[in-house]
Structures are given as structure tokens and as C-alpha cells.
């Protein structure tokens, strides 16, 4: 048995010497000294030896184990050191090199505008809510009192997923969801991406961002809406910004209005940017919530009334920052984005 241990010792040392990686060394350790290794198999024969030889062979076996283990540990350290030196050589970094100009990121004008809108209305007592971009036809059109023959329902205007599901065309479905979930009284705003077949000019895009607001309570009137929007416009754009309300027709509000503000370039004097009208593009649409919309959400219109408004975040950003082409905000051109 002593000869077997001597052979094992010689074979193990030779294998360790030839190992080129830590993975190979681990395999060698398991081969010779693992639970099912060669040393274990040899020691199983100790019971067949005479009693006086067992302690001698056992001591010698431990001596072999300790010696080979020491050589194995030294080889591990040698390989680790070599690997470290190789890595240091291959991953050499010259810290004296000029790092060049560092570009510091900042808020995109769309995100900055969205956050400013939310902060402004939160200060006015509104709660921010969120909802899905994939919406039901029921929430997007039916509950909002949209007629079956309304042009916005056409497949030429709306991205349908199937007959009952679509990419929301506005954030107004969040008003429906909020009224059904929370009832009245209610004061919420919501914002997010919306989708329409709409890219007729440089102020429209098939995907854009909307911001909606809704107030439902007892005694809410058109006067409350106008006062709220006046505060919003002056806080957002300055006290010198003039506001114009034009009658309009939306299926979900009655009466309804569209809101214009004076041109950001000439402040109402008239210039090429506003076709010499003194007025910028339509800023938002609004109105008193239609009684049918309240009924569809389980709210009694004889007890409660409300107002709602919706605006394009992209258009707000265009007016605020003097941007003339909506597509610039989606092109990720650093020359454009670093201006803000």
C-alpha cells in the first residue's frame, strides 16, 4: 500500500506541475483527494492490513496528502499571479491621457415640460394618475359620448389592434377610469403618449404626448374652468401672455372651447411665425363635462358637474421654447437638444 501512495504522490505532483489553469487544478484535486478520489480508494484497504501496520500507513497517507496539498496551493497562487499580471498588461489604462470634453446630460424639453405641468397642477390641488396606452374602444370612445359615426373612429384616423382594442387617441380614457374608480368629487390630471394617423404638417405627429385635467364636484361651472386655465397659462408662459377662447364642439363636453395664446415670437404684434395674426397655434381644448359622460361613469349629473381640458405637451413645449417643428423633438439631434 505504501507503494500505491508513493505512485499517487508522484502522479499527482506531475499533474499539478502540468496544470495550466485553476480549473485544471480543481479537477486534479478532485481526482486524487476528493470523496471518490484515488487516495480515498487506497485508504479503504487499510482494514485489510495487520493492526501494527495501519497506524504507519495512515500517518504516511496524511503526510502524502499534506505534501501534495502544499504543492497544489503553491501552484494555485502561481497561476493567480500570472493571470493577474496578464490582465494588468492587457487591460492597461493610461490615466495620463486627456479624457476630452465630457458631455453632461439634461432634461429633454418634452420631459421638462411634462414635469412642469404636473408640478403646476399638483400645486393647484390636482392628483396625478396614470393609465395604459393600449385602451378599450369603450373607454376611448363610447364612455366619452363619441358618436358611432364620429370621424375619429375611422381606421384612417386611429390605430386599431382589433375591433375592441386600440392605441389610445387621447389621454381622456384616464378620466373615465378615474371617475369609475374614485367617483365624485374628483380632481385629477394625467399625461402620456397618444397615437393618431396625423402628420399633415410640422406641428403634427402620429405619436405625441397629451396632458389632461378633470374636475368633478358640486357647482362646478365654465367660469371655474376659465379661471383655472387663466392661472395655468400665466404661470406657464408669463403674465404678458394673452388668451383667446373660441367656441368649439367636443362630444364629451358641452359647452366646449378651444384656447389660443399670443404668438411667442411677437407677443401679439404679428409676424411671419404666426402668419401676422398675433396668435400662436391652438393650445388646448376644454369644456364642461357632458352629462352623458358622468352617467356613463355612474355619477349623477343632477348632483355633480365638472370641467375637463386636454392639451398637447409637445405643443406646450413648442410655444414655451419657440420650437417651430415638432419632429425636432423626436430626432435625438444633440445640436437641437443642447439648446434647452
Burial profile 142-170: b = 16 or more Cβ within 10 angstroms, e = fewer? ebbbbeeeeeebeeeebeeeeeeebbbbb
- Beta bridge partner(s), residue 285: 258, 310
Q: CA torsion, points 52, 56, 57, 60, in degrees to nearest 10?
A: 180
Q: Which of 124, 285, 113 is nearest to 189 (CA)?
A: 124
User: What does the DSSP assignment read for 200-221?
Assistant: SSTT--SEEEEEEEEEEETT--
254 annotated ligand binder: yes
CA distances from 177 to 158, 173, 195 (A): 20, 6, 19
End-to-end CA distance of the chain: 84
Q: At what angle do helices 313-321 and 222-237 cross, to 10 degrees?
A: 40
Contact predicate 128/189, CB 8 Å: yes
Q: Give the Å distances, CA to CA, from 184 to 11, 172, 180, 211, 300.
A: 85, 17, 9, 21, 9
**How far is the C-alpha of 288 from the C-alpha of 306, rounded, in Å?**
6
CA 286 to chain centroid, in Å, comes to: 29
Binding residues: 254
Detail the residues annotated as belonging to a binding site for Mg(2+): 254
Amino acid at each position: 500500500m505504501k507503494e500505491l501512495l508513493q505512485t499517487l504522490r508522484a502522479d499527482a505532483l506531475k499533474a499539478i506541475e502540468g496544470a495550466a489553469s485553476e480549473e485544471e487544478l480543481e479537477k486534479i484535486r478532485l481526482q486524487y483527494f476528493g470523496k471518490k478520489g484515488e487516495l480515498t480508494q487506497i485508504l479503504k484497504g487499510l482494514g485489510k492490513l495487520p493492526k501494527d501496520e495501519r497506524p504507519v500507513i495512515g500517518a504516511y497517507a496524511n503526510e502524502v496528502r499534506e505534501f501534495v496539498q502544499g504543492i497544489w496551493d503553491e501552484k494555485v497562487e502561481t497561476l493567480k499571479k500570472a493571470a493577474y499580471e496578464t490582465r494588468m498588461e492587457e487591460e492597461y489604462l493610461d490615466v495620463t491621457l486627456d479624457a476630452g470634453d465630457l458631455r453632461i446630460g439634461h432634461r429633454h424639453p418634452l420631459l421638462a415640460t411634462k414635469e412642469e405641468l404636473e408640478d403646476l397642477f399638483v400645486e393647484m390641488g390636482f392628483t396625478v394618475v396614470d393609465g395604459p396606452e393600449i385602451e378599450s374602444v369603450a373607454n376611448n370612445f363610447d364612455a366619452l359620448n363619441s358618436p358611432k359615426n364620429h370621424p375619429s373612429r375611422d381606421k384612417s384616423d386611429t390605430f386599431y389592434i382589433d375591433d375592441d382594442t386600440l392605441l389610445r387617441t387621447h389621454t381622456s380614457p384616464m378620466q373615465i377610469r378615474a371617475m369609475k374608480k374614485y367617483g365624485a368629487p374628483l380632481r385629477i390630471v394625467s399625461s402620456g403618449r397618444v397615437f393618431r394617423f396625423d402628420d399633415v404638417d410640422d406641428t403634427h405627429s402620429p405619436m405625441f404626448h397629451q396632458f389632461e385635467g378633470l374636475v368633478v364636484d358640486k357647482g362646478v361651472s365654465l367660469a371655474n374652468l376659465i379661471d383655472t386655465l387663466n392661472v395655468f397659462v400665466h404661470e406657464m408662459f408669463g403674465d404678458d401672455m394673452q388668451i383667446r377662447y373660441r367656441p368649439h364642439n367636443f362630444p364629451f363636453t358641452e359647452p366646449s372651447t378651444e384656447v389660443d395664446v399670443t404668438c411667442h415670437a411677437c407677443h401679439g404684434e404679428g409676424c411671419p411665425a404666426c402668419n401676422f395674426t398675433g396668435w400662436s397655434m391652438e393650445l388646448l381644448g376644454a369644456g364642461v363635462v357632458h352629462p352623458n359622460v358622468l352617467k356613463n361613469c355612474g355619477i349623477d349629473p343632477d348632483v355633480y358637474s365638472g370641467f375637463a381640458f386636454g392639451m398637447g405637451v409637445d405643443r406646450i413645449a413648442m410655444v414655451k421654447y419657440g420650437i417651430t417643428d415638432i419632429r425636432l423633438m423626436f430626432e435625438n439631434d444633440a445640436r437641437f437638444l443642447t439648446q434647452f
